[in-house]
Copies of this chain bind each other. A is one copy, B any other.
């Protein structure tokens, strides 16, 4: 019997080296985690987090601390046997709900809480997160989910049917555990890196075994974006996959012009071309750039908005992040929605891949989602006790118990500033 005894939170901020993490919209990021720690009546502790860019991380910690109070005294197996209901009751708290609902700081806080519960659960069973999730029957997976407000597309019976169908063919997909999951390199082309710098980084990525990588775009001058795509393409050759990411920078009519021009350049996807709430804006862009794909998700707050993007045909690459939506639970719900619509899930990794290396294995094996590639972003590797192992462009399957979110230090790094 492992029982949650207390909740602590930790406001951890990690300054990056000059220029790293900068995109067209976020000029001075400090990669930060609002970490929830669950202590128990044993020496096991669960850790979960959500990601921010620094300022406001304290507020998310405070909300996680407050929203997690109902967990104290609960036994982990019985808690997780019906996590969907618990998640919903926190998300729909009769007062906190007003400052969401299901978005912003309260929802990030729920992500942190949820991810700590899953970590503790996996540790209690002495297995890595991916193994824990694969050991669950379809009905037990269903009980992890809050399907409220997506039942028009995915009610319990439809979700169960998807899960059960994929269950029968799992064996065909377990070889991924030995092969490792392919990675793409997202840090070759930060926005302010010089042309020379991105070319050198792109070559280095190929040397390290990557054959997919991402370039930040969203310049005031679209020509700069186009030139840099050409430069990377020259450096890596035709067999390499290149994605571009505008981080919501473009407004009409530039959004349409930039997307049309980039779509001519053999890019695999165009990511976050405009505002993340603009479902119908993305729908128009998606139609204009087809067959190039629109990718969105790192700022899509919840399953309801994802459902709208999918119904509208506004994106083909679903970049749901378990540190943005309400944790692993809502991540699975969004993945099931994507399965229903026959779309591809390629998570954004606010966790630099620590949790998501588990989730893509689960998604492929248990949900029969396509075997794609997972974002690789190395900046915080050294902060984790068990950093994701990436060799020759592939994530190696993690083997330590839990969700790989144990941090080396819970002491805040000082000297970070919001302004």
Whether the pair A56, B106 counts as a contact (CB closer than 8 A) is: yes
Which of chain B's residues have a CB closer than 8 A to the CB of A276? 101
Shortest C-beta distance, A92 to chain B (Å), equals 7
Whether the pair B56, A63 counts as a contact (CB closer than 8 A) is: yes
The answer, yes or no, to whether A27 is at the interface (CB within 8 Å) is: yes
The answer, yes or no, to whether A71 is at the interface (CB within 8 Å) is: no
Which of A30, A99, A305 has the most chain B CB atoms closer than 10 A to its own CB?
A: A99
The answer, yes or no, to whether A278 is at the interface (CB within 8 Å) is: yes
**Binary flags per residue of A292-325, CB closer than 8 Å to B gives 1, else 0:** 0000000101101101100110000000000000
- A305/B277 contact (C-beta < 8 A), A55-B95, A99-B60 known: yes
Which of chain B's residues have a CB closer than 8 A to the CB of A92? 25
Which of chain B's residues have a CB closer than 8 A to the CB of A25? 92, 94, 97
With CB as the reference atom, state the residue of chain B lying closest to A54: B95
Whether the pair A98, B152 counts as a contact (CB closer than 8 A) is: no
With CB as the reference atom, state the residue of chain B lying closest to A152: B252
The answer, yes or no, to whether A103 is at the interface (CB within 8 Å) is: yes
With CB as the reference atom, state the residue of chain B lying closest to A254: B151
Whether the pair B102, A105 counts as a contact (CB closer than 8 A) is: no
Copies of this polypeptide in the complex:
2
With CB as the reference atom, state the residue of chain B lying closest to A23: B94
Whether the pair A94, B304 counts as a contact (CB closer than 8 A) is: no
The answer, yes or no, to whether A413 is at the interface (CB within 8 Å) is: no
With CB as the reference atom, state the residue of chain B lying closest to A311: B280
Interface, chain A (partner B; CB < 8 A) = 25-30, 51-56, 59-60, 62-63, 66, 69, 92-108, 148-149, 151-152, 155, 248, 251-253, 274-281, 299, 301-302, 304-305, 307-308, 311-312, 418-419
A-B contact pairs, 24 of them (CB 8 A): A25-B94, A26-B97, A27-B94, A28-B94, A29-B94, A29-B95, A52-B95, A53-B97, A55-B93, A56-B96, A59-B59, A59-B62, A69-B419, A99-B108, A101-B276, A102-B277, A105-B106, A148-B251, A149-B252, A151-B253, A155-B252, A275-B304, A277-B302, A280-B312
